[in-house]
Amino acid sequence: MPEESIDHIDFDELNKKAISKPLVTHIYTADPSAHYFDGKIYIYPSHDIDAGEAFDDLGSHFAMEDYHVLSMDSIDAEAKDNGVALHVNDVPWAEQQMWAPDAAKKDDKYYLFFPAKGYDGIFKIGVAVSNSPIGPFTPQPKAIENSFSIDPAVLQDNDGNYYMYFGGLWGGQLQRWRTGEYNAQNPDSPTAHLPEDNEPALLPFVAKLTDDLLEFAEKPKEIEILDEDGNLLLAGDNNRRFFEAAWMHKYKGKYYFSYSTGDTHFICYAIGDNPYGPFTYGGRILQPVVGWTSHHSICQVEDKYYLFYHDSSLSKGVTHLRSVKMVEIEHMEDGHIKTISPYKNI
Protein backbone atom coordinates (compact mmCIF):
# COMPACT_ATOMS: atom_id res chain seq x y z
CA MET A 1 0.00 0.00 0.00
CA PRO A 2 1.39 3.43 -0.85
CA GLU A 3 3.42 4.87 1.96
CA GLU A 4 2.99 8.55 2.70
CA SER A 5 6.13 10.29 3.91
CA ILE A 6 6.58 10.35 7.67
CA ASP A 7 9.97 12.07 7.64
CA HIS A 8 8.44 15.32 8.91
CA ILE A 9 6.85 13.72 11.99
CA ASP A 10 8.40 14.19 15.43
CA PHE A 11 7.02 11.08 17.08
CA ASP A 12 7.90 12.16 20.61
CA GLU A 13 5.85 15.30 20.05
CA LEU A 14 3.08 13.39 18.28
CA ASN A 15 2.74 10.91 21.11
CA LYS A 16 2.42 13.77 23.59
CA LYS A 17 -0.50 15.07 21.52
CA ALA A 18 -2.17 11.69 21.09
CA ILE A 19 -5.58 11.54 22.74
CA SER A 20 -4.89 8.03 24.02
CA LYS A 21 -2.01 5.67 24.67
CA PRO A 22 -1.47 2.12 23.38
CA LEU A 23 -3.30 -0.42 25.52
CA VAL A 24 -0.31 -2.77 25.32
CA THR A 25 3.26 -2.05 24.22
CA HIS A 26 5.05 -5.42 24.43
CA ILE A 27 3.50 -6.61 21.15
CA TYR A 28 1.99 -4.81 18.18
CA THR A 29 -1.78 -5.08 17.86
CA ALA A 30 -4.32 -3.72 15.36
CA ASP A 31 -7.92 -3.94 14.15
CA PRO A 32 -9.43 -4.17 17.65
CA SER A 33 -12.85 -5.76 18.01
CA ALA A 34 -14.01 -4.94 21.53
CA HIS A 35 -16.83 -6.58 23.46
CA TYR A 36 -18.30 -6.30 26.93
CA PHE A 37 -18.79 -9.89 28.07
CA ASP A 38 -19.67 -10.92 31.63
CA GLY A 39 -18.82 -7.50 33.09
CA LYS A 40 -15.35 -7.34 31.53
CA ILE A 41 -13.96 -5.85 28.34
CA TYR A 42 -12.39 -8.24 25.84
CA ILE A 43 -10.51 -7.01 22.80
CA TYR A 44 -9.87 -9.26 19.80
CA PRO A 45 -7.15 -7.62 17.69
CA SER A 46 -4.84 -8.67 14.91
CA HIS A 47 -1.29 -9.42 16.08
CA ASP A 48 1.17 -7.49 13.94
CA ILE A 49 4.61 -8.91 13.27
CA ASP A 50 7.43 -7.93 10.95
CA ALA A 51 7.65 -10.97 8.70
CA GLY A 52 10.05 -9.32 6.27
CA GLU A 53 7.54 -9.26 3.42
CA ALA A 54 7.92 -6.57 0.78
CA PHE A 55 5.44 -3.69 0.88
CA ASP A 56 2.78 -3.94 -1.81
CA ASP A 57 -0.75 -2.82 -2.54
CA LEU A 58 -2.10 -6.31 -1.81
CA GLY A 59 -1.04 -5.96 1.83
CA SER A 60 1.44 -8.83 1.72
CA HIS A 61 3.47 -7.15 4.49
CA PHE A 62 0.49 -7.68 6.80
CA ALA A 63 1.59 -11.26 7.43
CA MET A 64 -0.08 -11.92 10.77
CA GLU A 65 -0.19 -15.54 11.89
CA ASP A 66 -2.01 -15.70 15.24
CA TYR A 67 -4.42 -13.95 17.58
CA HIS A 68 -4.02 -12.78 21.16
CA VAL A 69 -6.98 -11.70 23.29
CA LEU A 70 -6.64 -8.63 25.50
CA SER A 71 -8.85 -8.15 28.55
CA MET A 72 -9.65 -5.26 30.90
CA ASP A 73 -11.44 -5.57 34.24
CA SER A 74 -12.88 -2.07 33.74
CA ILE A 75 -12.55 0.75 31.26
CA ASP A 76 -9.82 2.36 33.39
CA ALA A 77 -7.92 -0.86 34.10
CA GLU A 78 -4.68 -1.95 32.53
CA ALA A 79 -5.09 -4.25 29.53
CA LYS A 80 -3.86 -7.81 29.98
CA ASP A 81 -2.50 -9.97 27.16
CA ASN A 82 -3.88 -13.49 27.59
CA GLY A 83 -1.47 -15.10 25.12
CA VAL A 84 -2.07 -16.94 21.88
CA ALA A 85 -5.74 -17.80 21.38
CA LEU A 86 -5.47 -19.25 17.86
CA HIS A 87 -2.58 -19.84 15.44
CA VAL A 88 -2.79 -20.28 11.68
CA ASN A 89 -1.03 -23.64 12.02
CA ASP A 90 -4.08 -24.91 13.95
CA VAL A 91 -6.51 -24.02 11.15
CA PRO A 92 -6.63 -26.82 8.55
CA TRP A 93 -7.90 -24.70 5.67
CA ALA A 94 -5.85 -21.53 6.28
CA GLU A 95 -2.36 -20.86 4.99
CA GLN A 96 -1.56 -17.25 5.92
CA GLN A 97 -2.67 -13.70 6.71
CA MET A 98 -4.78 -13.95 9.83
CA TRP A 99 -6.29 -10.50 9.43
CA ALA A 100 -8.88 -8.54 11.46
CA PRO A 101 -11.08 -10.85 13.60
CA ASP A 102 -14.22 -10.46 15.67
CA ALA A 103 -15.91 -12.43 18.42
CA ALA A 104 -19.37 -13.19 19.77
CA LYS A 105 -20.87 -14.90 22.78
CA LYS A 106 -23.90 -17.20 22.72
CA ASP A 107 -25.06 -19.09 25.78
CA ASP A 108 -21.85 -20.24 27.46
CA LYS A 109 -19.68 -20.41 24.34
CA TYR A 110 -17.45 -17.85 22.63
CA TYR A 111 -16.87 -17.64 18.91
CA LEU A 112 -13.86 -16.15 17.13
CA PHE A 113 -14.50 -15.16 13.50
CA PHE A 114 -11.45 -14.55 11.34
CA PRO A 115 -10.39 -14.10 7.73
CA ALA A 116 -7.43 -15.95 6.26
CA LYS A 117 -6.10 -16.95 2.88
CA GLY A 118 -6.53 -20.58 1.97
CA TYR A 119 -3.92 -22.56 0.10
CA ASP A 120 -5.55 -21.34 -3.13
CA GLY A 121 -4.71 -17.72 -2.24
CA ILE A 122 -8.37 -16.80 -1.72
CA PHE A 123 -9.61 -15.13 1.46
CA LYS A 124 -12.42 -16.91 3.32
CA ILE A 125 -13.84 -16.45 6.82
CA GLY A 126 -13.50 -19.09 9.50
CA VAL A 127 -14.86 -19.60 12.97
CA ALA A 128 -13.34 -21.11 16.10
CA VAL A 129 -15.06 -21.94 19.38
CA SER A 130 -14.07 -21.81 23.04
CA ASN A 131 -15.61 -22.16 26.49
CA SER A 132 -13.63 -19.08 27.53
CA PRO A 133 -13.60 -15.54 26.11
CA ILE A 134 -9.79 -15.63 26.04
CA GLY A 135 -9.51 -19.00 24.33
CA PRO A 136 -7.81 -21.10 23.28
CA PHE A 137 -10.21 -21.41 20.36
CA THR A 138 -10.79 -24.63 18.42
CA PRO A 139 -11.30 -23.92 14.70
CA GLN A 140 -13.84 -25.59 12.48
CA PRO A 141 -12.16 -27.79 9.86
CA LYS A 142 -13.48 -25.72 6.97
CA ALA A 143 -14.18 -22.06 6.30
CA ILE A 144 -17.77 -20.83 6.46
CA GLU A 145 -19.51 -21.96 3.28
CA ASN A 146 -20.12 -19.10 0.82
CA SER A 147 -17.85 -16.76 2.81
CA PHE A 148 -15.35 -14.55 1.04
CA SER A 149 -13.20 -11.44 1.49
CA ILE A 150 -12.17 -10.10 4.93
CA ASP A 151 -13.04 -8.18 8.11
CA PRO A 152 -15.92 -10.09 9.70
CA ALA A 153 -17.91 -8.21 12.34
CA VAL A 154 -20.79 -9.88 14.15
CA LEU A 155 -23.79 -8.09 15.68
CA GLN A 156 -25.91 -9.81 18.32
CA ASP A 157 -29.26 -8.11 17.82
CA ASN A 158 -31.87 -7.64 20.54
CA ASP A 159 -34.07 -10.38 19.08
CA GLY A 160 -31.34 -13.00 19.51
CA ASN A 161 -30.28 -13.12 15.87
CA TYR A 162 -26.61 -12.77 14.92
CA TYR A 163 -25.50 -11.03 11.74
CA MET A 164 -22.06 -11.02 10.13
CA TYR A 165 -20.86 -7.99 8.17
CA PHE A 166 -17.77 -8.32 5.99
CA GLY A 167 -15.80 -7.19 2.97
CA GLY A 168 -12.67 -5.29 1.97
CA LEU A 169 -11.25 -3.84 -1.24
CA TRP A 170 -7.82 -4.23 -2.83
CA GLY A 171 -5.97 -6.99 -0.95
CA GLY A 172 -9.26 -7.94 0.69
CA GLN A 173 -10.41 -9.20 -2.73
CA LEU A 174 -14.01 -7.92 -2.55
CA GLN A 175 -13.75 -6.57 -6.11
CA ARG A 176 -12.93 -10.08 -7.36
CA TRP A 177 -16.39 -11.33 -6.33
CA ARG A 178 -18.50 -8.91 -8.40
CA THR A 179 -20.04 -11.72 -10.47
CA GLY A 180 -20.56 -14.06 -7.52
CA GLU A 181 -17.52 -16.11 -8.55
CA TYR A 182 -13.88 -15.40 -7.75
CA ASN A 183 -12.14 -13.58 -10.61
CA ALA A 184 -8.50 -14.71 -10.64
CA GLN A 185 -7.42 -12.54 -13.57
CA ASN A 186 -4.63 -9.98 -12.95
CA PRO A 187 -3.71 -11.66 -9.64
CA ASP A 188 -1.02 -9.12 -8.72
CA SER A 189 -3.22 -6.07 -9.20
CA PRO A 190 -5.08 -4.77 -6.14
CA THR A 191 -7.27 -2.47 -8.23
CA ALA A 192 -8.22 -4.72 -11.16
CA HIS A 193 -11.98 -5.32 -11.37
CA LEU A 194 -12.92 -2.18 -9.41
CA PRO A 195 -15.85 -0.10 -10.72
CA GLU A 196 -15.21 3.17 -12.54
CA ASP A 197 -15.29 6.34 -10.44
CA ASN A 198 -18.71 7.33 -11.80
CA GLU A 199 -20.22 3.91 -11.01
CA PRO A 200 -21.71 2.92 -7.65
CA ALA A 201 -19.07 1.92 -5.11
CA LEU A 202 -18.64 -1.72 -4.17
CA LEU A 203 -20.75 -2.60 -1.17
CA PRO A 204 -20.07 -4.63 1.96
CA PHE A 205 -22.10 -7.75 2.71
CA VAL A 206 -24.25 -9.05 5.55
CA ALA A 207 -25.52 -12.54 6.33
CA LYS A 208 -27.56 -13.84 9.23
CA LEU A 209 -25.78 -16.70 11.02
CA THR A 210 -27.23 -20.10 11.83
CA ASP A 211 -28.29 -20.80 15.41
CA ASP A 212 -24.95 -22.48 16.15
CA LEU A 213 -23.06 -19.45 14.70
CA LEU A 214 -20.97 -21.77 12.51
CA GLU A 215 -22.47 -21.04 9.07
CA PHE A 216 -24.47 -18.50 7.11
CA ALA A 217 -28.23 -19.02 7.39
CA GLU A 218 -28.72 -17.23 4.05
CA LYS A 219 -26.90 -16.05 0.97
CA PRO A 220 -24.92 -12.89 1.83
CA LYS A 221 -26.66 -9.67 0.80
CA GLU A 222 -25.13 -6.36 -0.23
CA ILE A 223 -25.57 -3.42 2.15
CA GLU A 224 -26.54 -0.17 0.47
CA ILE A 225 -24.78 2.98 1.69
CA LEU A 226 -26.62 6.05 0.45
CA ASP A 227 -25.94 9.77 0.30
CA GLU A 228 -28.29 12.41 1.70
CA ASP A 229 -30.36 12.27 -1.51
CA GLY A 230 -30.88 8.51 -1.30
CA ASN A 231 -28.36 7.64 -4.03
CA LEU A 232 -25.66 5.00 -3.70
CA LEU A 233 -22.22 6.43 -2.95
CA LEU A 234 -19.99 6.34 -6.02
CA ALA A 235 -16.69 4.49 -6.36
CA GLY A 236 -14.87 7.79 -6.88
CA ASP A 237 -16.25 9.22 -3.63
CA ASN A 238 -13.35 7.78 -1.69
CA ASN A 239 -13.81 10.19 1.23
CA ARG A 240 -17.12 8.45 2.03
CA ARG A 241 -17.40 5.10 0.27
CA PHE A 242 -16.80 1.77 1.98
CA PHE A 243 -13.31 0.26 1.71
CA GLU A 244 -12.96 -2.19 4.65
CA ALA A 245 -13.34 -2.58 8.43
CA ALA A 246 -17.11 -3.11 8.78
CA TRP A 247 -18.60 -2.67 12.24
CA MET A 248 -22.14 -2.42 13.57
CA HIS A 249 -23.46 -1.00 16.81
CA LYS A 250 -26.88 0.14 17.96
CA TYR A 251 -27.87 3.36 19.66
CA LYS A 252 -31.42 4.32 20.62
CA GLY A 253 -32.90 1.73 18.29
CA LYS A 254 -30.90 2.82 15.24
CA TYR A 255 -28.26 0.70 13.49
CA TYR A 256 -24.89 2.36 12.97
CA PHE A 257 -22.76 0.78 10.25
CA SER A 258 -19.22 2.11 10.49
CA TYR A 259 -16.22 1.42 8.28
CA SER A 260 -12.87 2.64 6.94
CA THR A 261 -12.50 4.56 3.69
CA GLY A 262 -9.10 2.90 3.15
CA ASP A 263 -6.95 5.06 0.90
CA THR A 264 -8.35 8.27 2.42
CA HIS A 265 -7.97 6.95 5.98
CA PHE A 266 -11.27 8.04 7.56
CA ILE A 267 -13.53 6.04 9.87
CA CYS A 268 -17.07 6.89 8.76
CA TYR A 269 -20.57 5.79 9.66
CA ALA A 270 -24.02 5.45 8.14
CA ILE A 271 -27.35 5.05 9.94
CA GLY A 272 -30.24 2.67 9.21
CA ASP A 273 -33.41 1.22 10.69
CA ASN A 274 -32.66 -2.51 10.45
CA PRO A 275 -29.63 -4.81 10.28
CA TYR A 276 -29.79 -5.07 6.47
CA GLY A 277 -29.96 -1.36 5.74
CA PRO A 278 -30.09 0.69 3.66
CA PHE A 279 -27.81 3.03 5.59
CA THR A 280 -27.54 6.78 5.04
CA TYR A 281 -24.09 8.32 5.33
CA GLY A 282 -23.78 10.20 8.62
CA GLY A 283 -20.24 11.55 8.82
CA ARG A 284 -16.81 10.79 10.20
CA ILE A 285 -16.03 9.22 13.55
CA LEU A 286 -12.23 9.41 13.37
CA GLN A 287 -9.85 11.57 11.38
CA PRO A 288 -6.73 9.88 9.90
CA VAL A 289 -4.20 8.27 12.21
CA VAL A 290 -0.48 7.78 11.60
CA GLY A 291 -0.08 4.69 9.42
CA TRP A 292 -1.89 3.72 6.23
CA THR A 293 -4.69 1.66 7.74
CA SER A 294 -7.52 2.68 10.02
CA HIS A 295 -9.69 0.03 11.65
CA HIS A 296 -11.94 0.21 14.67
CA SER A 297 -14.79 -1.11 16.76
CA ILE A 298 -17.38 0.56 18.98
CA CYS A 299 -18.24 -1.04 22.30
CA GLN A 300 -20.88 -0.06 24.84
CA VAL A 301 -19.64 -0.40 28.41
CA GLU A 302 -22.51 0.29 30.80
CA ASP A 303 -23.95 3.64 29.67
CA LYS A 304 -20.97 4.88 27.62
CA TYR A 305 -19.64 4.05 24.17
CA TYR A 306 -15.96 3.64 23.33
CA LEU A 307 -14.06 3.67 20.07
CA PHE A 308 -11.25 1.12 19.90
CA TYR A 309 -8.82 1.90 17.07
CA HIS A 310 -5.15 1.70 16.17
CA ASP A 311 -2.28 3.80 14.91
CA SER A 312 1.41 3.34 14.13
CA SER A 313 2.80 5.91 16.56
CA LEU A 314 4.55 3.40 18.84
CA SER A 315 6.50 1.92 15.90
CA LYS A 316 7.26 5.47 14.69
CA GLY A 317 5.11 5.16 11.64
CA VAL A 318 5.66 1.58 10.43
CA THR A 319 2.35 0.90 8.71
CA HIS A 320 2.15 -2.80 9.56
CA LEU A 321 3.29 -2.45 13.18
CA ARG A 322 0.32 -0.90 14.91
CA SER A 323 -0.97 -0.37 18.44
CA VAL A 324 -4.51 -0.59 19.76
CA LYS A 325 -5.95 2.47 21.52
CA MET A 326 -9.29 3.54 22.99
CA VAL A 327 -11.29 6.74 23.47
CA GLU A 328 -14.86 7.55 24.51
CA ILE A 329 -17.20 8.67 21.74
CA GLU A 330 -20.21 10.94 21.91
CA HIS A 331 -23.56 10.48 20.20
CA MET A 332 -25.09 13.92 19.83
CA GLU A 333 -28.74 14.85 20.37
CA ASP A 334 -29.55 14.43 16.66
CA GLY A 335 -28.07 10.92 16.62
CA HIS A 336 -24.86 11.85 14.83
CA ILE A 337 -21.45 10.99 16.26
CA LYS A 338 -18.98 13.71 17.17
CA THR A 339 -15.85 13.54 15.00
CA ILE A 340 -12.64 12.78 16.87
CA SER A 341 -9.11 13.91 15.98
CA PRO A 342 -6.58 11.32 17.19
CA TYR A 343 -3.98 13.98 18.00
CA LYS A 344 -4.63 17.28 19.76
CA ASN A 345 -3.90 20.49 17.82
CA ILE A 346 -3.02 18.64 14.62
Active site residue 244: yes
Active site residue 228: no
Q: What are phi and psi of 86, to 5 degrees?
A: -160, 135
Query: Catalytic residue among 31, 48, 102, 311, which?
Result: 31
Q: What is the 3-state secondary structure (H, E, C) of the chain?
A: CCCCCCCCCCHHHHHHHECCCCCCCCCEEEEEEEEEECCEEEEEEEEECCCCCCCCCCCCCCCCCEEEEEEECCCCCCCEEEEEEEEHHHCCCEEECCCCCEEEEECCEEEEEEEEEECCCCEEEEEEEECCCCCCCEECCCCCCCCCCCCCEEEECCCCCEEEEECCCHHHCHHHHCCCCCCCCCCCCCCCCCCCCCCECCCCEEEEECCCCCCECCCCEECCEECCCCCECECCCCCCCCCEEEEEEEECCEEEEEEECHHHCCEEEEEECCCCCCEEEEEEEECCCCCCCCCCEEEEECCEEEEEEEECCCCCCCCCCCEEEEEEECECCCCCECCECCECCC
Query: Catalytic residue among 48, 102, 244, 311, which?
Result: 244
* Residues belonging to the active site: 31, 244
